[in-house]
Amino acid sequence: MATATRTMTVAQAVVEFLGRQYAVDKVGAQEYRGRLIPGMFGIFGHGNVAGVGQALKQYQLSDPALMPYYQGRNEQAQSHQAVGYARHTRRRATFAVSTSVGPGSTNLLTGAALATTNRLPVLLLPSDVFATRAADPVLQQLERPDAYDVSVNDAFRPLSRYFDRVSRPEQLFSALHNGLRVLTDPADTGAVTISLPQDVQAEAFEVPEEFLAPREWRIRRPEADDDDIRRAADAIRNAKNPLIVAGGGVLYAYAEDELAKFADATGIPVGNTQAGVGVLPWNHPRSLGAIGSTGTTAANAIAAQADLVIGIGTRYEDFTTASRTAFQNPGVTFININVTPLDAYKHGTALPIVADARKALVKLNAALGGYRVGADLEHQVAGQKKRWDAIVDEAFDTRYTPLPSQNEIIGATNRAMDAADVVICAAGSLPGDLHKMWRIRDPFGYHVEYAYSCMGYEIPGGLGVKRATLAEAAGGGTKRDVVVMVGDGSYLMMHTELVTAVAEGIKLIVVLIQNHGYASIGALSEQLGSQRFGTKYRTLDAQHHTFDDGEKLPVDLALNAESLGVKVIRVTPGENVVADLEAAVTAAKAAPEGGGPVLIHVESDPLLDAPSSESWWDVPVSEISDLQSTQQAYTTYTEHKARQRTLLG
């Protein structure tokens, strides 16, 4: 019997196929089924305007719900929106992004790197040059005399978890099936890039009806091996000072409740990575908060003496381990629970558990019935928590006027937000300060992109999160405001997606902190002996060719946002600046959904530091220098370097 087919273009087949793909998941007794690709972003040019663009327009008229199209102002920002959406949906859904040939495609490279580094799914569909080479070279084509089959899209290969090029229509079937397999694999997800030559997009071929039928992709959640659990339970019972390091994998596995049960039953304290903020509320008695270079003094004090570290869903970034100086117990060993083998085997562990975090914790809870840490450790945890809470209380206290510290700005924003609201950030000094001081109350309430720490991610990433929260609320779930916190440096990198929010009437709240420069790198530069070189926004002193000593630039970013159609609230420096900021966030939250974005502009004093983490981050210092400041910094660097451990065990 002949297989039923339909004649359609490659681009039409892509759009119709993606519109009928569903993610299926089961967490405990809760089952989930939802659209895997609920929409597509695209900026059109030669390459996709007559291919994917034509297909989207055709289905917009015939079946509007099949694949909704969304505009954007920059291809990189569109991929960031997709990643923000994927993060808030716990990797159950993401967007596709279509681009034109050449710069439209390469604008996605940073987005691909960010997605893959963060282990978050995004489907990238960059257009490519002619597969037939009928018109060769075309506009924006890269020509290499040594490899004429190479295009700029080959740059995606090292940045993607899966890369394919559809040079013939028939290749589309395997390309999309393999691509979606990777998108929905928790252990292997990241950017999936399927390169679509512009002539192939518009080419017609016979598509089997079975290819276009609805398809379910079950998210794999592997069980932990019983013998691994037994060995882990034995190691925990024999430990004197165990510590849990909880990462984003706990949240992606919906394991926060099992983690709380585990910590409550055993008394084992919990430190969290950037991606793991929200695994426990900030005031949970076992929560030490952030760990590592941007951590709390509580988490780092307990980490220094830990003889057993139980890593759950963490990839052990250098900030988490304080560049491998956080764990100073000479006999420290590691149990690593992770769905990704690469992470489960890190730090030379003898106890890797390759499994879903929730399923592993369920088994560990059963295996450790009756076990509890000693009273000494519980007493230390309580004391360290009390000390750190007092430090943050003091940092949040209003003392600096007329320009507030970033600490006060964080405190005011935190107080004005509801428990279910989501704070968004990515780069600069804010992520570190948020990590150690943000008082989280909801597992979905914190989204700081810190695996790639990409300047400019904040606004488009926040817009992606907001799209996910709107879908969540429309489905009967929690209603949430999304608040982006961003410095002027990151704002200038990619603020144009505010226009996207204006066009769609999306209420995104942006707290823009005017630092007049790069506050984070300025502080780091000073620590490393380079005297904040090149980090201030100042006019050029042509005589000495320096930007360090000129006048502040006469840039009005509030006016810039207003020119884009954004409602702006200016917080005036002065005696009441912190109270006014808190009131501004409250007013922005009261604005109606559908009314568009609201930006709050506040100036800060970038020289007022956050509380110390009493930790370290390895950034090399010049061994020799004519600058005394650099010489002093190198002496400090070598002292820290002496504590670094290459293989922890």
pLDDT digits (tens, 9 = 90+) for 552-573: 888 999 999 999 999 999 999 9
Look at residue 27 and tell me if it is in a domain. Answer: yes
Does one domain contain both 38 and 167? yes
Please give the residue range of the domain that contains residue 311.
226-388
Does one domain contain both 367 and 462? no
> Is the distance from CB of 71 to CB of 63 less than 8 angstroms?
no
**The last residue of a domain, from among 336, 357, 388:** 388
CATH code at 309?
3.40.50.1220
What was the pLDDT predicted at 641?
Answer: 85
Does one domain contain both 163 and 301? no
Q: Does the structure show a pLDDT above 90 at 632?
A: no
Give the model confidence (pLDDT) of 148-159 as tens digits.
999 999 999 999
> Is the distance from CB of 596 to CB of 507 less than 8 angstroms?
yes
- Name the domain count of the chain: 3
Give the model confidence (pLDDT) of 266-287 as tens digits.
999 999 999 999 999 999 999 9
Look at residue 540 and tell me if it is in a domain. Answer: no
What was the pLDDT predicted at 543?
Answer: 82
d(CA 58, CA 56): 5
Q: Mean pLDDT throughout 320-348?
A: 95
Look at residue 53 and tell me if it is in a domain. Answer: yes
pLDDT band at 550; cut points 50, 70, 90: confident
Q: Which residues is 6 bridged to in the sheet?
A: 207
Does one domain contain both 24 and 98? yes
At 505, is the secondary structure helix, strand, or coil?
coil
Q: Does the structure show a pLDDT above 90 at 124?
A: yes
Q: Does the structure show a pLDDT above 70 at 56?
A: yes
Look at residue 627 and tell me if it is in a domain. Answer: no
What residues have CB less than 8 Å from 357, skipping those under 6 apart? Answer: 249, 250, 252, 253, 255, 258, 259, 312, 313, 337, 338, 339
Give the model confidence (pLDDT) of 436-470 as tens digits.
999 999 999 999 999 999 999 999 999 999 999 99
Look at residue 531 and tell me if it is in a domain. Answer: no
**The last residue of a domain, from among 218, 235, 255:** 218
Q: Mean pLDDT throughout 112-124?
A: 98
Does one domain contain both 461 and 482? yes
* DSSP letter (8 states) at residue 441: -
Does one domain contain both 23 and 137? yes
495 burial class (0-12, 13-18, 19+ CB within 10 angstroms)? buried
Q: Does the structure show a pLDDT above 70 at 530?
A: no
Measured between alpha carbons, how far apart are the two ends of the chain, in Å? 61
State the DSSP H helix or E strand holding residue 1, giving kind and residue range, or none if neither. Answer: none
Does one domain contain both 290 and 402? no
Look at residue 511 and tell me if it is in a domain. Answer: yes
CA angle, residues 105, 110, 114, in degrees to nearest 5: 130
**The last residue of a domain, from among 171, 196, 218:** 218
> Is the distance from CB of 541 to CB of 554 less than 8 angstroms?
no
d(CA 85, CA 93): 7
The separation between CA 383 and the C-alpha centre of its own chain, rounded to angstroms, equals 32
374 burial class (0-12, 13-18, 19+ CB within 10 angstroms)? exposed
Does one domain contain both 77 and 193? yes
Does one domain contain both 402 and 382? no
Q: Which residue has the higher pLDDT, 624 or 388?
A: 388
CATH code at 416?
3.40.50.970
Query: Of 78-87, 161-170, 192-201, 342-351, where does mean pLDDT reach its minimum?
Result: 342-351
Place of tokens 């490519």: 128
What was the pLDDT predicted at 41?
Answer: 98
For the chain, give me the number of helices (H) and strands (E)? 24, 23
What was the pLDDT predicted at 523?
Answer: 66
Does one domain contain both 279 and 310? yes
Does one domain contain both 59 and 205? yes
Query: Per the confidence metrics, is the pTM higher than 0.75?
Result: yes
Does one domain contain both 59 and 201? yes
Given CA atoms 576, 578, 579, 583 in this order, what sign does their dihedral have?
A: positive
> Is the distance from CB of 520 to CB of 490 less than 8 angstroms?
no
